[in-house]
């Protein structure tokens, strides 16, 4: 099962839409978002593209109720306070905005941890736990919107940047 990973999208609608379109073309069926949507309208591309999403709130998400209300306009968007632990595709996953907000034992008790906050792509293994930061979906700090695709079966991670996908064609389009 392929899942998209996003964080720190900070209201940048064209970037969110482009990243989600690429994920859909690659076969992603759901996105895990590690927070900092910012405004409720940042969920618009998820709703328009019918992309299911599980997300947590970040430090820049001030209007939690407004964001939740906007999400209820469609189906398949679930929002939680950070951190949020759940199972997906047989994997125990921890979704958190800032990794320093959870203790190391919580991290190690999950197969996969997805976080944001730093705006930098990162992947590491701690014990048996895969820890991934997909970078910044907005591109405001480091110049290019980015995301990742995670294969839950193999734990392979594919990082990508918006600038690199404009010429992407899905294999069945060739």
Q: How far is CA 113 from CA 61, 77, 106, 119, 168, in A?
A: 20, 19, 10, 16, 28
Mean pLDDT of the chain: 93
Average pLDDT (39-53) is 97
Q: Give the Cα separation of 107 and 59 in Å (integer).
A: 20
Number of H helices, E strands in the chain: 4, 11
Average pLDDT estimate for 1-26 = 97
- 125-148 burial code (b ≥16 CB/10 A, e <16): eeeebbbbbbbbbbbeeeeebbbb
Greater confidence, 164 or 138? 138
Least confident of 26-40, 48-62, 153-167: 153-167
Under the banding of pLDDT at 50, 70 and 90, the label for residue 166 is low
Every domain of the chain and the residues it spans:
2-165
User: Which comes out higher in pLDDT, residue 75 or 31?
Assistant: 31
Percent of the chain with pLDDT over 90: 86
- Mean of the pLDDT values across residues 104-133? 96
pLDDT at 7 > cutoff 80: yes
The partner residues of 2 in beta bridges, in order of sequence, read 151
CATH architecture under which domain 2-165 falls:
4-Layer Sandwich (3.60)
| Comparison of pLDDT for 155 and 173, the residue scoring more | 155
Q: What percent of the chain has pLDDT over 70?
A: 95
Q: Which pLDDT does position 62 carry in this prediction? A: 87
């Amino acid at each position: 099962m392929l899942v998209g990973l996003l964080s720190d999208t900070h209201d940048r609608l064209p970037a969110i839409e482009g990243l989600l379109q690429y994920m859909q073309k690659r076969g992603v069926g759901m996105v895990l978002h590690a927070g900092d949507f910012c405004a409720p309208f940042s969920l618009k591309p998820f709703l328009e593209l019918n992309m299911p999403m599980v997300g947590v709130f970040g430090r820049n998400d001030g209007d939690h109720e407004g964001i939740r209300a906007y999400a209820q306009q469609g189906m398949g968007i679930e929002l939680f306070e950070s951190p949020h632990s759940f199972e997906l595709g047989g994997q125990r996953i921890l979704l958190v905005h800032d990794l320093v907000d959870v203790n190391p034992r919580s991290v190690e008790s999950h197969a996969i941890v997805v976080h944001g906050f730093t705006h930098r792509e990162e992947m590491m293994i701690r014990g048996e736990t895969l820890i991934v930061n997909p970078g910044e979906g907005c591109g405001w700090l480091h110049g290019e919107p980015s995301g990742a695709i995670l294969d839950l079966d193999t734990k392979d991670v594919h990082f990508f940047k918006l600038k690199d996908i404009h010429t992407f064609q899905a294999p069945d389009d060739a």
